[in-house]
Structures are given as C-alpha cells and as structure tokens.
Amino acid sequence: MKIYVDYRERELVEVLRERFGDIEEVNLKVGDLVLALDDHVVVLERKSAPDFIESLRSNRLWEQLLRMQSVDKIFGKEVRRRFLLLHGSISRLILHEFDEKLWASLSGAFMEVVYVYGIPIFFL
C-alpha cells in the first residue's frame, strides 16, 4: 500500500510519517489522503469538527464531495471507495453553541453525505 497525502495537510503528513514512515506528499485535486492498493485507490476527505461546520455553512463541503464523486481514476488506478473522516467532537460544538438550526443542519448534512452522495462518514 502506498499513502499519498495532500501537501497542504501539514499536521496529517507529520502524524502519518511517524506511524507509517514512507508517505508521499503530493498536490491532490480530490481528497486529503489517497491509499493506493494493487489495482485501486481509496480517497479520504478529512475534516475537523469546526472545519466540517464551516465548510457546511460555506457550501465548500458539497463542492468537495462532488469532486470526489466525479473522479474515476487517480494515479491511473480506479477509485473504489470514498470516505469522509470527521475528527474532533461534534457533540462538544453542539453543546457549546447549541441552537436548533445547527443541530438540524448537521443532521441533514450527515444524511445527505451518506444517502445522496453515497459517502460513508467515519467519526474519529
């Protein structure tokens, strides 16, 4: 397995390099992280909890997910899976700035990501 990380993800590059050693920093047009296996790749978009909320408010999230869906090949290999990794505490943010609109927006966004875009969300 080869790991490609977008060069703009400095923190992620450092963490992955400590864990896995050999990773390659590249300019990814889609996602933040690409796992290249023998005959296919897996694309991951990573968001912190505050970044998820901000990208939801600015509509950047939907643009990123559309780009992820539209790509069939990366590095000449078929894209087989796409994932959204959400790290940090969403519940802490909801409790901190709780309002019903935020909760409704998040619930709707989670459902749209999974059911409309077909992209599973992993909460870390």
Place of tokens 């909460």: 123
Percent of the chain with pLDDT over 90: 65
> How far is residue 109's CA from residue 41's CA, in Å, rounded to a whole number?
25
- Cβ-based burial of 102 (10 A; exposed 0-12, middle 13-18, buried ≥19): middle
Domain range spanning residue 117?
A: 2-123
pLDDT in tens, 82-112: 999 999 887 766 666 666 777 788 889 999 9
pLDDT in tens, 60-85: 999 999 999 999 999 999 999 999 99
CATH code assigned at 66: 3.40.50.10130
Beta-strand ranges (E) seen in the chain are 2-6, 23-26, 33-36, 40-48, 73-74, 77-87, 121-123
pLDDT exceeds cutoff 90 at 11: no
> How far is residue 88's CA from residue 82's CA, in Å, rounded to a whole number?
20
Domain count of the fold of the chain:
1
Arithmetic mean of pLDDT over the chain: 90
| Mean pLDDT, residues 26-47 | 95
